[in-house]
Homo-oligomer: A and B are copies of this chain.
Amino acid sequence: MEIHVNQHRVNTHTVYANRARMLISCPDGPGIVAAVSRFLHEHGANIVQSDQYTMDPEGGMFFMRVEFDLPELTEALPKLEQDFGTVAEQFRMQWHISCVSRKKKLAIFVSKEDHCLVELLWQWQAGDLDADIAMVVSNHLDMKEYVESFGILYHHIPVTPETKPEAEQRQLEVIDSDIDVIILARYMQIISPKFIEHYRNRIINIHHSFLPAFVGGKPYAQAYNRGVKIIGATAHYVTEELDGGPIIEQDVQRVSHRDDVTELKRIGRTIERVVLARAVKWHVEDRILVHENKTVVF
Contacts and interface: CB of A to CB of B under 8 A. Distances in A.
Interface in A114-129: 114-115, 118, 122, 126, 128
Contacts of A229: 247-250
A155 interface: no
B230 A251 contact: yes
Given A142-B5, A212-B226, A229-B247, A48 B57 contact: yes
Contacts of A5: 114, 142-146
Copies per complex of this chain: 4
Interface string A18-39: 0000000000001111110110
B41 A30 contact: yes
Interface residues of A, number: 77
Given A115-B122, A145-B4, A230 B256 contact: no
Nearest to A35: B41
Contacts of A232: 230
A227 B247 contact: yes
A interface secondary structure, majority:
mixed
A40 interface: yes
Contacts of A118: 122
A14 to B, nearest CB: 9
Contacts of A126: 114-115, 269
A228 interface: yes
A297 interface: yes
21 contacts: A2-B2, A2-B146, A4-B145, A30-B41, A34-B37, A34-B38, A47-B52, A49-B53, A50-B52, A56-B260, A57-B69, A128-B266, A211-B213, A212-B226, A212-B228, A226-B293, A227-B246, A227-B294, A228-B247, A230-B251, A252-B252
